Structure 1
Amino acid sequence: MIYTPEEIAVMAEGGKRLGEILAKLAEYTKIGMTTQELDQRAAQLIAAAGGTPSFLGYRPAGAQEPFPATLCASRNEVVVHGIPSSQEIIQEGDLVKLDLGMHYRGFHVDAAVSVVVPPATKEKQLLAAAAQEALKAGIAQARVGNTVGHIGSAIASVVRRYGFSVALGLTGHGIGRKLHEDPYVPNQGTAGEGIALREGMVLAIEPMICAGSGEVVERRDGSFVTKDGKPSSHWEHTVAITSRGPLVLTQPR
């Protein structure tokens, strides 16, 4: 999909609000609270921002059931799509991924952060840092004339430099009127291959990386976990392709 500057401006407004919500949720994440409490807080913040949850009730292609919560809260070996629970308690040393989508004035925006709960291992700290750096590298390639392969290649290069692996089979995506649109945005690949990037595209760029092999398994509830049980990290921004370069829409101002 190609969006007009006016439509992108609306997404930027919603994205700013979503970025601020995620920053508050990251600060709110504490030892002893449940992931259900995080979900409830996310729902309150989205409502206060004038939006509605993108994920609640959403059923992506291939999913057996609609997603039952506002927030994807994924701890340690859970890579993405973790379902919040009153039985899941944040522990010392956890690496918690908070993935949140919001529908605002007709458009979806999507972002994720990784929260390292102290005292965490050096590996988890590096994993979170690597995914965040990989996101920045991928965003830098989101330019007119490049392809989605440029984004994936830049992401994978950073991940390899840290000695980690890209989560296999999990990608970013186009976003806008629908939560998931074309094109798929890979987290590895070859520069120059894949869909060409055009002005007006809006992409959810989201490195999902693993400390181990990168092999993942989909559980019956729709969440993905590392096959070897090693920790994972996930960072994401919604980014518009403009004539002036990439514009991050979900950055809190």
Structure 2
Amino acid sequence: MMFKKKRRWHCLSGQEPTELDKKVMYWENKGKEVPTRDLIRTPEEIEGIKRSGIVNTGVLDEVAKQIHAGMNTLEIDKICYDYCVAHGATPACLNYEGYPKSVCTSINEVVCHGIPKEEDVLQEGDIVNVDFTTILDGYFADASRMFIIGKTTPEKEQLVRVAKECLEIGAEAAKPYSFVGDIGHAIQKHAEKYHYGVVRDLCGHGVGLKFHEEPEVLHFGHRGTGMLLVPGMVFTIEPMINMGTWQVFIDEDDEYGWEVITGDEKPSAQWEHTFLMTEHGVEILTH
């Protein structure tokens, strides 16, 4: 007996298929991975995510005002927590699956999930990623920025710049009814021009009603692969670009098992935004 493959996409009960339905089902019938309808955000949900994004942007703006050599990353955690709570929101990272702080602060060779500590003092020439996720009225927004502490080396400056370009190029590749793989392909192609490694063990993700949702947004890969991108989807693009190898490991000295380090312990850089897919391309919901 042959079983028909179960559909992911369903038209609304009792209604004729819309143009959106027809476009999604066209690709599903060709064997492509498509979203489920519950990944398409309503106008009310989009407005909620945008409001959360405003607070999230404010958190990172506040960090930008205060970050400096000589401060420790626990001070950054306090800045983020205080701003978030003062604006009626909650830090999503705090106590998430055992994560002990409100923000991730990843210095130099720490790729991501660096835990704020009093002993981690920012030094002249460091590069640091500050990654924060806000929950406001049940809606999530997620973004990260790189900060250069004082004056650093030309090599680190280039890494930070190229990582930001990778985010921008990935966003340009995200078109309505294109595929997640188009994003990864564009990012990988740009990063490898500089002989940089694109981290493969971590990825972007859907976000909005939960911290992590479908789709997984890989930052490497091939065009036409991965999930179909449909207007109304909300997701992050957050390429982690390493100066050397793409490979990573978990820091054995991290009692919580969170901190991710580059395999050759060379520096890494990451930028991240939350994006809404529209009929015309992506809209940035965090800045």
TM-score (norm 1): 0.94
Residues 103-124 of structure 1: per-residue CA shift (max 9 Å, x gap): 0111111000010112201111
Q: Which residue of 1 aligns with 2:279?
A: 243
Which of 103, 122, 137 aligns to 1:105? It is 137
Residues 159-189 of structure 1: per-residue CA shift (max 9 Å, x gap): 1123311013111111111100111000111
Q: Which residue of 2 aligns with 1:231?
A: 267
Counterpart AA for 1:18: N
- Aligned counterparts, 1:30-179, within 5 A: 30-59=68-97, 66-179=98-211
Q: Which residue of 2 aligns with 1:197?
A: 229
CA distance in 1, matches of 2:200, 2:41: 30
Give the C-alpha shift of residue 20 in structure 1: 2.4
Counterpart AA for 2:87: A
If asked which structure has higher relative contact order (CA below 8 Å, sep 6+), I would say: 1
Q: Which residue of 2 aligns with 1:63?
A: none
Give the C-alpha shift of residue 16 in structure 1: 2.0
Give every structure 1 segment of 4 or more consecutive aligned residues whose post-TM-superposition deviation is greater than 4 Å.
none
Give the C-alpha shift of residue 98 in structure 1: 0.2
Counterpart AA for 1:52: T
CA distance in 1, matches of 2:233, 2:122: 37
CA distance in 2, matches of 1:166, 1:102: 26
CA distance in 2, matches of 1:133, 1:57: 32
CA distance in 2, matches of 1:27, 1:215: 33
CA distance in 2, matches of 1:243, 1:188: 24
8 Å Cα contact 2:195/2:244 also seen in 1: no
Give the C-alpha shift of residue 129 in structure 1: 0.5
8 Å Cα contact 1:26/1:113 also seen in 2: no
CA distance in 1, matches of 2:52, 2:262: 32
Q: Which residue of 2 aligns with 1:181?
A: 213
CA distance in 1, matches of 2:61, 2:167: 17
Residues 6-39 of structure 1: per-residue CA shift (max 9 Å, x gap): 2111111211221122122123110000000000
CA distance in 2, matches of 1:50, 1:155: 35
CA distance in 2, matches of 1:14, 1:168: 28
| Matched positions, count | 245
Residues 172-225 of structure 1: per-residue CA shift (max 9 Å, x gap): 111111100111000111111111001111001101010011110022431100
CA distance in 2, matches of 1:50, 1:72: 20
Q: Give RMSD over aligned pairs.
A: 1.1
Of 193-202 and 214-223, more deviation after overlay is shown by 214-223
Counterpart AA for 2:56: L
Counterpart AA for 1:118: G
Residues 78-134 of structure 1: per-residue CA shift (max 9 Å, x gap): 000000001110001001000000001111110000101122011111111011110
Q: Secondary structure at the match of 1:159?
A: helix
Give the C-alpha shift of residue 157 in structure 1: 1.7
8 Å Cα contact 2:55/2:134 also seen in 1: no
CA distance in 1, matches of 2:186, 2:66: 32
Counterpart AA for 1:27: K
Of 149-158 and 29-38, more deviation after overlay is shown by 149-158
Gaps spanning 5+ residues in structure 1: where? 60-65
Give the C-alpha shift of residue 2 in structure 1: 1.6
Q: Which residue of 2 aligns with 1:62?
A: none
Counterpart AA for 1:26: A
